[in-house]
Amino acid sequence: MALNWIHHTVENTPSFLTSEDLKSVGEGVILNFYQGLKFLSNLRSTFPSGLELRLRVVRAQEYCSLLEHAISSGAFMDTGWVDQYFSVAQEMSCRMRGYPKECKAQWRELREAVVKQEARGWDEQPVQSRTQRRDPLMPKLAKKSFRFLDLPNNVRNEVYMILFLREAISIGDWDFDWLETQSKNNRLVRRTEYDVFDHKRKTMRRTTYTARSLGKKIFMWLNIMQVNKQIHKEAAQIFYGENKFQFLGTVESALAFLHDRANKLDILKKVSIRFMADPYTKFKGCYNWTCKIFDPPRTFHGSWRRICNLFVHSSLGLEDFNLAIDSSFWLETPWEQGVDGVFNTPRLCEPRDIRSWGWRSPQTEWGSVTKNFLQHAARLGGVNLRLTIDRADEDPEREAFRKGLEKRMQEEAFKRPYLADDSVPRCSCRKRLLKECCIWDREGKMRRG
């Protein structure tokens, strides 16, 4: 069989393909890619009315050719929907772990048509063929251009908001097998890794975190941060300061994510972190870029203490902190005894035997632990603290208890001093393994610079 499939995403495709970048797949796989690309493009993209009807009835394999013909004809001056089409193509290549080889030539022709259309608009005249000659007495019209940094600050911020602001940025865990595959292809090698207990093999295995934005607008133009230092600094203020970051996976994934972005800790404003009390949930990581983030196993108390220390001492700009607890909280805690009975319970939602986590932590570390996970979260002074518990709204008594516990934590946080340092946090280790990183020390503090 011919090598007809590029096993890379659209963005990660190298300029020059070799046999290592290609493989053979059946015609059914290629047809599924085209049909998925057509379906998602019609669903999410905003095409002109005259073109939208034709795109619904065209064959999936001829979808890109119709787009290229529509642009080349000059009937549509606005070509912004082409970016939406390519964002869908990127998503499909992530879902199917590649795309047909013939798409590369089709997309190249589509991009060339867009460039010619833009040049036609700038020059205010039709693009001449090679056989036609320009009148030497007619001066060439200079292309209208401007420097992005010459725009006012408020205009640039509006552009950053369009490019980066989403409903939420979700952080989870990669699956073990998927991570091993990507490591062989030299991907994700710069991310901090950590060990999680694999219940199938009964051993610790290494993985890393995944970050994605799910919803109607899932694509973000993060490459603009690599233009220069000024744009990176301005864009980071919007991306990290205005977005809400949801840590839905293990707490180790949150620590690894924050360790790789140590100098952005003082920018984060909105954080939501999930605490798992269910002792029976097994680890299941994400297997592609668009699948849901599964609930992690029971939260390791040592990791929870470290991330709370990190927010207390290093998150200067933190304003909103939401603690989300799974529904097993109602089974694992004596919530019928009242708010104070739960809040003051030692070792709340912790296993009796630390080996049930699969960790080999020294017993001396546990001897110094006196606060439960609620008391650790209540140490965040000067922060708008919120508490959500799954299935609390199904029972009036549970909802009343949740509100009372939230108020109790807010009162405790109000008594706490504000300990965040004014200096910028920095990574002091440059290591990849979480247990060897500076973020995993006894105090949970990072070097300030």
* Contact between 85 and 45 (Cβ < 8 Å): yes
What would the pLDDT profile of 301-346 be if each residue is shown by its tens digit? Answer: 999 999 999 999 888 889 999 999 999 999 999 999 999 999 999 9
Rounded to whole angstroms, the Cα distance separating 209 from 259 reads: 11
Handedness of CA 408, 245, 276, 371 (dihedral sign): negative
Rounded to whole angstroms, the Cα distance separating 285 from 291 reads: 10
Rounded to whole angstroms, the Cα distance separating 395 from 417 reads: 35
Rounded to whole angstroms, the Cα distance separating 293 from 251 reads: 13
Check residue 435 and give its pLDDT. Answer: 92
Q: Which helix (H) or strand (E) holds 37?
A: helix 27-44
Q: Identify the residue with better confidence: 142 or 78.
A: 78
Check residue 188 and give its pLDDT. Answer: 54
What would the pLDDT profile of 169-210 be if each residue is shown by its tens digit? Answer: 999 999 987 766 665 555 555 789 999 999 888 899 999 999
384-389 and 425-426 as β-strands: parallel, antiparallel, unpaired? unpaired
209-212 and 447-448 as β-strands: parallel, antiparallel, unpaired? unpaired
Among residues 228, 211, 208, 229, the alpha carbon closest in space to that of 220 is found at 211
Check residue 120 and give its pLDDT. Answer: 60
Residue 218 scores a pLDDT above 80: no
What would the pLDDT profile of 87-139 be if each residue is shown by its tens digit? Answer: 888 888 888 889 999 998 888 888 888 877 766 654 444 444 444 444 454 45
The percent helix, strand, coil of the chain (3-state, each to 5) is 45, 10, 45
Which structure tokens are listed for 216? Answer: 């109607």
* Contact between 274 and 300 (Cβ < 8 Å): no
Mean of the per-residue pLDDT values for the chain?
83
How far apart, in Å, are the Cα atoms of 279 and each of 17, 326, 327, 333?
A: 48, 11, 12, 12
Among residues 281, 295, 287, the alpha carbon closest in space to that of 246 is found at 295
Residue 41 scores a pLDDT above 80: yes
Q: Among the listed ranges 286-290, 328-332, 363-367, which one has the minimum average pLDDT value?
A: 363-367
* Contact between 202 and 278 (Cβ < 8 Å): no
Q: In which residue are the tokens 């060990």 written?
A: 195
Q: What is the mean pLDDT of residues 405-415?
A: 95
Residue 366 scores a pLDDT above 60: no
Check residue 355 and give its pLDDT. Answer: 45
- Compute the residue count for the chain: 449
Check residue 77 and give its pLDDT. Answer: 67
Confidence band, pLDDT 50/70/90 cuts, at residue 259: very high
* Contact between 185 and 246 (Cβ < 8 Å): no
How far apart, in Å, are the Cα atoms of 265 and each of 7, 10, 110, 319, 404?
A: 35, 31, 41, 12, 30
Q: What is the mean pLDDT of residues 70-76?
A: 77
Q: Among the listed ranges 357-361, 363-367, 378-382, 396-400, which one has the minimum average pLDDT value?
A: 363-367
Confidence band, pLDDT 50/70/90 cuts, at residue 140: low
